[in-house]
């Protein structure tokens, strides 16, 4: 049996490709066009896993799938090989944010670690949003100021249109000649982090945002 090798955002990407295939089918695209859509989707999926074994490549191959039921079974099969978000304790979270003596923590018992790319929660008392992510094999966290009001726009994390809120964080980058220097990074991200985790398909921006914020 192959090991778990699929991340949440990768499975979301695969689901998005399947949606594109289904959409082309519903629009009665010519057979040659539909074949091209499937081939492109299949190639994109395989490119997500450059180190996949032959068994994993065979599992990921959707070129022979035809019906909605087959696609559903395909997604269910892949779901069994999801890499869960690392288990994290309340004590670990408190160590990540030592300046917050009365840190409000999320209910960790209600978190589905298999559908999580990043962990995030709000503290409405402080107008703070906390974000925790596994960066280069290490769990890191940042706190951001956020504006509770929401509006419709594109999320910087998942690139989807929906209810977003504005957040900003001060980077830890310093300049030797100017000890008072600071730089703030602002973003619009999904107001509902759970929804964002269900839609996010790549982590390039999340990674660069965390690295900029932490000054690494």
Q: Is it the case that residue 79 has pLDDT exceeding 70?
A: yes
Q: Looking at residue 76, what is its pLDDT?
A: 97
Q: Is it the case that residue 175 has pLDDT exceeding 60?
A: no
The stretch 106-113 carries a mean pLDDT of: 92
CA distance 165 to 167: 7
The stretch 202-216 carries a mean pLDDT of: 92
Identify the residue with better confidence: 108 or 183.
108
Identify the residue with better confidence: 158 or 182.
158
Q: Looking at residue 5, what is its pLDDT?
A: 97
Lowest mean pLDDT among 38-52, 67-81, 92-106, 190-204: 92-106
Q: Is it the case that residue 178 has pLDDT exceeding 60?
A: no
The pair phi, psi for residue 60, each rounded to 5°, is: -75, -20
Residue 171: pLDDT band (50, 70, 90) is confident
Q: Looking at residue 172, what is its pLDDT?
A: 66
| Residue of 5, 157, 1, 158 whose CA lies nearest to 79 | 5
28-42 pLDDT, tens digit per residue, is 889 999 999 999 999
CA distance 128 to 106: 13
Residue 140 CB partners (closer than 8 Å, separation 6+): 96, 132, 133, 134, 210, 214
DSSP character string of the chain: -PPP-B-HHHHHHHHHHHHHHHHHHHTT--HHHHHHHHHHHHHHHHHT-TT--HHHHHHH--TT--SHHHHHHHHHHHHTTBPPPPP--HHHHHHH-TT-TT-----GGG--GGG-SSEEEEETTTTEEEEEEEETTEEEEEEEEE-S--EEEE-TTT--EEEEEEEEEE----BTTBTT---EEEEEEES-HHHHHHH----HHHHHHHHHHHT-
Residue 148: pLDDT band (50, 70, 90) is confident
Q: Considering all CA atoms of the chain, what is the largest pairwise distance in Å, rounded to the nearest integer?
A: 64
Q: Is it the case that residue 134 has pLDDT exceeding 60?
A: yes
Residue 195: pLDDT band (50, 70, 90) is very high
Q: Looking at residue 150, what is its pLDDT?
A: 80
Q: Is it the case that residue 205 has pLDDT exceeding 60?
A: yes
pTM of the model: 0.91
Q: Looking at residue 56, what is its pLDDT?
A: 96
The stretch 180-198 carries a mean pLDDT of: 86
Residue 77: pLDDT band (50, 70, 90) is very high
């Amino acid at each position: 049996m192959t090991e778990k090798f699929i991340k949440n955002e990768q499975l979301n990407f695969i689901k998005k490709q399947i949606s594109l295939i289904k959409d082309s089918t519903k629009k009665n695209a010519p057979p040659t066009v539909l074949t091209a859509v499937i081939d492109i989707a299949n190639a994109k999926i395989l490119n997500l896993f450059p180190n996949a074994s032959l068994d994993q490549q065979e599992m990921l191959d959707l070129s022979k799938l035809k019906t909605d039921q087959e696609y559903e079974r395909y997604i269910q099969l892949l779901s069994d090989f999801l890499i869960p978000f690392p288990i994290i304790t309340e004590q670990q979270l408190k160590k990540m944010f030592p300046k917050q003596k009365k840190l409000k923590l999320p209910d960790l018992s209600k978190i589905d670690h298999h559908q999580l790319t990043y962990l995030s929660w709000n503290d409405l008392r402080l107008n703070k949003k906390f974000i925790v992510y596994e960066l280069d094999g290490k769990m890191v966290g940042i706190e951001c100021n956020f504006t509770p009001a929401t509006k419709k726009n594109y999320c910087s994390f998942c690139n989807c249109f929906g209810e977003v809120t504005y957040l900003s964080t001060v980077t830890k980058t310093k300049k030797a000649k100017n000890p008072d220097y600071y730089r703030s990074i602002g973003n619009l991200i999904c107001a509902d982090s759970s929804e964002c985790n269900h839609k996010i398909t790549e982590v390039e921006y999340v990674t660069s945002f965390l690295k900029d914020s932490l000054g690494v």
